[in-house]
Structure 1
Amino acid sequence: MRILLVKTSSLGDVVHNLPLVTDLARRVPGATIDWLVEEGFADIPRLHPAVGRIIPVAVRRWRRHLFSAATWHGIAAFRRELRREAYDRVLDSQGLIKSALLGAQARLAPGGQRCGYGREAAREPLAARFYHRGYGIPRNAHAVERNRWLAAAAFDYTPDLPLDYGIAAPPLAADWLPTDRPYAVLLTGTSRADKLWPEDHWQTLMQALTGAGLGLVLPAGSAEERQRATRLAAMVPGALVAPPMAVAQLAGLCAGAALVVGLDTGLTHLAAALGRPTLALFSGSDPSLTGVHAGPGALNLGGAGQPPAPAVVIAAALDLLAS
């Protein structure tokens, strides 16, 4: 059986789709599993050994230059690549009109089907019109489990396997990393201002982690995130701001960390998926549906309108380091 997974973005959503791959590899022996994903996140499915062909799509880039000839050439090339193979099953676990339309471009083998969430379960109900079969997966479950249940329904097996993201990454080898002590990765940037944690809280945590013998590494993406990380690093001697890195390098950075503390952002989910001790700090969203979900070494602290106090975060961090 040849399967195409459609989960294009964002980073956290792509990470949440990984256990579904592990389940399919075990429950559908011999299946070839391909993945359609936004180009900026293609490094994530590459980490899973059961993923075969990765088909990058550039919707985010194309829509910024919709009337460019290069955009239309890119769209045509993408469609040719997508249709190079015929699929027995196309599984859209994104549940958006965008993802459903992308999945509809795939070529089906005789008897092939497109599957996804039913109208009552999809994030955008209209997406269900593009599937041959839609499934009513409960909306009040964690995103990881919803994806796994969807795959189980589409392929007719019981979703009773242990949670397994199925990925690993070699620790990053870089001459700027601390070599005399273990390090913690602090993910201080996020997409929304209400998800931020106060900078004085970060300073208190950083001082405690330094006192526990850890080096501190602060990755940053956008210019605003880099300015924040630079301010924070200046508050604590020895803390350093990581240079700009691709997703694969960031995975290696997290894989080598003794501890990762991050906000509600995709890299925090990636660290948890890699099995690192991870604390996710919530201030503007509810972790019950989209928090880190990877066993006892991954903890969610805080909630919407209830940022965790520094003392709570420090205690949890020290507990993880000691376990």
Structure 2
Amino acid sequence: MKVLLVKLSSLGDVVHTLPVVQDILSAHPGAQIDWVVEKSFAPLLSPLVGAGLHRVIPCELRRWRKSPLAAATRAEWKIFKSLLQAEHYDAVIDLQGLTKSALVARLASVTATGKRYALANQTDGSGYEAPTRWVADVAIFIEPHIHAMQRSRVLSARALGYSLPPAWSYGLNPALAQSPRTKFAIKTVAFVHGTSRANKQWPEEDWVALGRRLAALGFQIALPHGSDEELASCERMAAAINLGSEGRPTTQAVIWPRLSLDALTQQLAQCAGVIGVDSGVSHIAVALDLPHVQIYNFDTAWRTGPLPGTAGGHQVSVYAQPAPTVQAVWDAWMSCAPTDAQAQSVV
């Protein structure tokens, strides 16, 4: 069986779709699975090639639509179509539910008995556009109130006719185990403070207060960044954390260099845990099965946060408006932190 998954963006949505690959392989061990994704997110999937995925087909629809008639765009589009249509699929599953994903699904080639599957309806809190069902051979209704990860899993199971496994796997850890890894101090907690939406951010002074508490337990604080603005924030936070709560300088907070998505994933995998806002990188922490606290200023954790009982309870979300307190995040971290950290707890 040859299956094409269409999930183009964004990073968090791509992460939430990862268990679909493992579900399909569990039900159809010999399945050949390809995935169309925006080029910027393809590095996240690259470790899975040969370890669950057959091909990752990158596209740049976000960039191409800015200059659709440019010679470079037309040339790149031609190459993309050639890659997309190199196989004939038994099933093409549009897991995005948008016009752009419907276009990709329509362009893909299917076998004589192959079908295109898509969402028949919008689910709570998600985007949805009608063309996704217009071009599908089979549109599948999904319960409106459903977690983002479960939505993709349910759609794929109903499309391919298998029972949804009660447990799930993202497949990242086995894939990363086959890749070269940097030797890294394991007693590190990464602060995923950056997000594309300002109203999802947590105050810098709260990150500093939390960082000082963790430093008192002997943890190193890692500060990743993906933009110049986030780097400036890292520099301010690192300086304040390293000043220490009593004015004694430390070197507990370190700023990571700007990393590619695959390198960032490998670095996160070697941490003791991650504390972060609602962002794609935080969702990677969930996929890596790390102790993790996800911070929400909006009551949307039910849809995108760690599922209740996920990973034995060592991944939790914290919600409050206008934002959770430092104490609430600290308490959540201590509830899921490594045992040695809990034993050394100081407040």
The residue type equivalent to 2:317 in the other structure is N
Alpha-carbon distance, 1:319 to partner: 2.8
- Find out whether 1:318 has 2:318 as its counterpart: no
Alpha-carbon distance, 1:184 to partner: 0.8
Q: 2:182 aligns with which of 162, 173, 180?
A: 173
- Find out whether 1:282 has 2:296 as its counterpart: yes
1:30 counterpart SS class: coil
Name the stretch that deviates more: 60-69 or 46-55: 60-69
Alpha-carbon distance, 1:306 to partner: 4.2
Structure 2 spans left out of the alignment, 5+ residues: 243-250, 340-347
Distance 1:284 1:194, change over 3 A: farther
Aligned residues: 318
Question: Is the CA contact (8 Å cut-off) linking 1:152 and 1:158 kept in structure 2?
Answer: yes
Q: 2:190 aligns with which of 185, 193, 210?
A: 185
CA distance in 2 between partners of 1:17 and 1:120 (Å): 17
Question: Is the CA contact (8 Å cut-off) linking 1:279 and 1:299 kept in structure 2?
Answer: yes
Counterpart position of 2:17 = 17
Counterpart position of 1:262 = 276
- Find out whether 1:163 has 2:172 as its counterpart: no
Counterpart position of 2:257 = 243
Alpha-carbon distance, 1:285 to partner: 5.3
1:23-38 equivalences in 2 (<5 Å) = 23-38=23-38
The residue type equivalent to 1:77 in the other structure is I
Question: Is the CA contact (8 Å cut-off) linking 2:298 and 2:319 kept in structure 1?
Answer: no
CA distance in 2 between partners of 1:135 and 1:82 (Å): 24
Deviations 1:125-163 (A, max 9, x none): 332111000111112110111111101110111113312
Structure 1 spans left out of the alignment, 5+ residues: none
1:1-323 equivalences in 2 (<5 Å) = 1-48=1-48, 49-119=51-121, 121=123, 123-168=128-173, 169-170=176-177, 172-173=181-182, 179=185, 182-237=187-242, 238=251, 239-284=253-298, 286-293=300-307, 294-295=310-311, 296-303=313-320, 305-323=321-339
CA distance in 1 between partners of 2:81 and 2:132 (Å): 20
CA distance in 1 between partners of 2:90 and 2:241 (Å): 55
CA distance in 1 between partners of 2:128 and 2:290 (Å): 30
1:51 counterpart SS class: coil
TM value normalised by structure 2: 0.87
TM value normalised by structure 1: 0.94
Question: Is the CA contact (8 Å cut-off) linking 1:91 and 1:115 kept in structure 2?
Answer: yes
CA distance in 2 between partners of 1:30 and 1:173 (Å): 33
Question: Is the CA contact (8 Å cut-off) linking 2:272 and 2:338 kept in structure 1?
Answer: no
CA distance in 2 between partners of 1:185 and 1:280 (Å): 12
CA distance in 1 between partners of 2:7 and 2:65 (Å): 18
CA distance in 2 between partners of 1:256 and 1:120 (Å): 37
The residue type equivalent to 2:318 in the other structure is L
1:231 counterpart SS class: helix
Question: Is the CA contact (8 Å cut-off) linking 1:87 and 1:107 kept in structure 2?
Answer: yes
Alpha-carbon distance, 1:89 to partner: 0.4
When the two chains are superposed, the root-mean-square deviation of aligned CA atoms in Å is: 1.7
Question: Is the CA contact (8 Å cut-off) linking 2:314 and 2:337 kept in structure 1?
Answer: no
Name the stretch that deviates more: 279-288 or 106-115: 279-288
The percent of aligned pairs where both chains have the same amino acid is: 34
Deviations 1:14-50 (A, max 9, x none): 0000111110001122110110111011122223311
Alpha-carbon distance, 1:119 to partner: 3.6
Question: Is the CA contact (8 Å cut-off) linking 2:117 and 2:138 kept in structure 1?
Answer: yes
Distance 1:11 1:167, change over 3 A: same
